[in-house]
Amino acid sequence: MFLKQLSVFIENREGRLEQVLDTLKEENINIISLSLADTSDFGLLRMIVSDGEKGKEALKARGFTAMLNPVLAVKLSHQVGQLQVLLSEICKAGINIEYTYALATGNDDASIVIKTADLEKAAEVLQKTGVELVSAEEL
């Protein structure tokens, strides 16, 4: 039900993102989706990849701080307001949404990654509303 997200802390300086991407390329790890948030000193790169465990170990071997975190991936139809409806259901259940970003799945639907304070409860709420979750096998 949950996907494993590879999260990497990188210094906010020239070439560090390229080093992360080179490492994944050398290990033949495909990046399915990513999000990069930054501050003046560091960035947080969040990715859904083809082999999270292998990616984490390869990055750690190169001196990066990397970890795997569970996240939900949700399919959305291309209709006005669908994201708001989905997020509203999570909020009504009293679950904090920590972040979200787009997910490339290669199908006609839109998909997003969601990290909440309570993933189990969020998954339960979403499934009750008929929302389809994306499995690792689908990616």
1, burial (CB in 10 Å: exposed 0-12, middle 13-18, buried 19+): middle
The reported pLDDT for the residue numbered 23 is 97
Q: Which residue, of 36, 70, 104, is where some domain finishes?
A: 70
User: Which domain-ending residue is among 41, 70, 99?
Assistant: 70
pLDDT in tens, 53-112: 999 999 999 999 999 999 999 988 888 998 999 999 999 999 999 999 988 776 667 788
User: Structure tokens of 59?
Assistant: 């990055």
Per-residue pLDDT tens digits for 19-69: 999 999 999 999 999 999 888 888 999 999 999 999 999 999 999 999 999
Residues whose CB falls within 8 Å of the CB of residue 45, separated by 6 or more in sequence, listed in order: 7, 8, 9, 10, 17, 20, 34, 35, 36
Residues 38 and 90 in one domain: no
CA dist., res. 45 & res. 111, Å (int)? 19
Q: Are residues 64 and 75 in the same domain?
A: no
36 and 83 together in one domain: no
Tell me, rounded to whole angstroms, the distance of Cα 41 from its chain centroid: 22
Query: End of a domain among 70, 94, 127?
Result: 70
pLDDT, position 107:
65
